Structure 1
Amino acid sequence: MTIYSACAGPEPTGATPASTENVSAAASQNRRIEVRRLGMVEYEPTWALQEQLLAETLNRKALNRQALEAGQAPQPTPNYLLLCEHPHVYTLGKSGKPEHLLLDEAGLAAHAATFHRINRGGDITYHGPGQLVGYPILDLDNFFTDIHRYLRVLEEAVILTLAEYGVRAGRIAGLTGVWIDFEEGALNPRKICALGVKCSRWVTMHGFALNVTTNLSYFGHIVPCGITDKAVTSLAQELGRAVAVTEVQDRLLPHLARLLEAELYANS
């Protein structure tokens, strides 16, 4: 069942002919993304699901290289978008500092939270109820092989979604993520969406976390993303009213489809 789609434009007239290998690869491009709405799920099994989908996609890419070498047509690689919420959990990226978690084991237990060291980039962050978490497992060979552009696409989808609620958001130079009061010289810049990704042979995992009705007090137990001089916020705090996470999901998906020139679908 198709949810949202956006078609890529035609190839420009007079374009330089591609090599046989590139033609074969282009013919196998798959711009369809399977959306899985997982609801409230524990962090660890969701991470395991990401790893499983990543491994399957990498295996397909390895088989495709063998097929091309043998003069055979490659098979399209899949793309997925997992959407969910997590119970209270802190995750530390590869470049993060353990001291940015301000709770010991007893403190974690007292706040019903868990802690995981994971293999994405970035420092420490928090996930919890009321937060829209998105994990795209995309083969960027199906779209564009530029990780910086990919991060900007995720940010832009969130910025456009927030604009639908009348919330003006943007970027701060040198800081990944989406911010309110982001303009240079603003007195109270605050982060509303964090990003952290891993990319293996152009296949992505991990993703973004958008604070919708998140309990922001949990950010007080970490140095969020290693940043000490800026605050965090949520859509509910900016609007002064609650918003359903599922509603924000519905508003985000068409922006992702358009920016990636993709078709989003759910298996029914």
Structure 2
Amino acid sequence: MTRSTPTPHRQRPCLLQVLGITPYQVAWERQRSLVEQRIQDPSLDDILLLLEHPPVYTLGTGADVKFLKFDPVTAPWEVHRIERGGEVTYHCPGQLVGYPILNLRYYQPDLHWYLRQLEEVIIQVLKNYQLPGKRREGFTGVWVDGYKVAAIGIKVKRWITMHGFSLNVCPDLTGFQAIIPCGIPDKPVGSLAQFIPHLQLEEIRQKIAEEFAQVFQVKLIENN
């Protein structure tokens, strides 16, 4: 995929909100509220939320509990079944999560296009570090040297997006051992810190914002 250079008159404003470590339920409710506001008033600006979560497992709408290695009813961990697509995944500090709230009518009302654009944001970030981010046929996400470093799961309501992507920057990956991540047993999860020791999440957060603006041709406006 070739990244085009945005032209000023095409740039759509997009508010950037950096939330830090945020409980999953809080971020989930915030997304739903933002989506409903934009369904009621499609002229509202788009928003990109960048944050981290405390340890939490989430399952997509149709996710199979067989990919959990524990009983979700009696689990000692926080578990949520949510309205995104995809199977089970894990969030924790050191993993950068991005929730774009975009009205795809202003871009392309095409879910496959949107998923590929989210992957492209990650791939372009990795290029800054000479890391070869790859897609895999039949899957959604980004891999480096066979390790899945970024997961993507979305929900779109009346062409307004929610949920989004997670990029493993420097997390403790042991939480993934309690699940079969994304329902893929033979493709290990990894982090950027495996390839770039001492990498800081703040640095990657800045790169994500920059590349998101380029790939989606928006003008990010900090709104914290």
Which category describes the TM-score, using the shorter chain as reference length? over 0.9
Q: Which runs of 5+ in 2 are unaligned?
A: none
TM-score normalised over the length of structure 2: 0.93
Contact 1:192 1:234 in 2 (8 A): yes
Counterparts in 2 of 1:116 and 1:77: CA distance versus 1, 3 Å: same
Aligned pair 1:261/2:217, yes or no?
yes
TM-align CA RMSD: 1.8
Aligned to 1:41: 22
Aligned pair 1:173/2:137, yes or no?
yes
Aligned pair 1:125/2:89, yes or no?
yes
Q: 1-side partners of 2:39 and 2:73: how far apart?
A: 39
Aligned length in residues:
220
**Of 165, 168, 172, which residue of structure 2 is paired with 1:211?**
168
Q: 1-side partners of 2:18 and 2:199: how far apart?
A: 17
Aligned pair 1:245/2:209, yes or no?
no
The amino acid that maps onto 1:153 is Q
Aligned to 2:109: 145
* C-alpha distance after superposition, 1:119-177 (max 9, x if no partner): 00001000001000000010011222111111111111111111111211110000000
Percent sequence identity is 41
Q: 2-side partners of 1:105 and 1:95: how far apart?
A: 15
Counterparts in 2 of 1:8 and 1:172: CA distance versus 1, 3 Å: farther
Q: 2-side partners of 1:144 and 1:228: how far apart?
A: 33
**Of 126, 143, 146, which residue of structure 2 is paired with 1:162?**
126
Q: 1-side partners of 2:162 and 2:198: how far apart?
A: 29
3-state SS of the aligned residue for 2:98?
strand
Aligned to 2:66: 99
Aligned to 2:48: 81
Aligned to 1:22: none
Q: Which runs of 5+ in 1 are unaligned?
A: 11-29, 62-75, 182-188
* C-alpha distance after superposition, 1:80-128 (max 9, x if no partner): 111000000000001210121112369742xxx3100000000100000
3-state SS of the aligned residue for 1:246?
helix
Aligned to 2:7: 7
Aligned to 1:21: none
Counterparts in 2 of 1:57 and 1:147: CA distance versus 1, 3 Å: same
Aligned pair 1:31/2:12, yes or no?
yes
3-state SS of the aligned residue for 1:51?
helix
Return the offset for 1:246: 1.3
Q: 2-side partners of 1:108 and 1:180: how far apart?
A: 31
Q: 2-side partners of 1:244 and 1:251: how far apart?
A: 11
Segments of 4+ in structure 1 off by > 6 A?
Answer: none
Q: 2-side partners of 1:107 and 1:200: how far apart?
A: 32
TM-score normalised over the length of structure 1: 0.78
User: Which is greater in Rg?
Assistant: 1
Q: 1-side partners of 2:182 and 2:140: how far apart?
A: 10
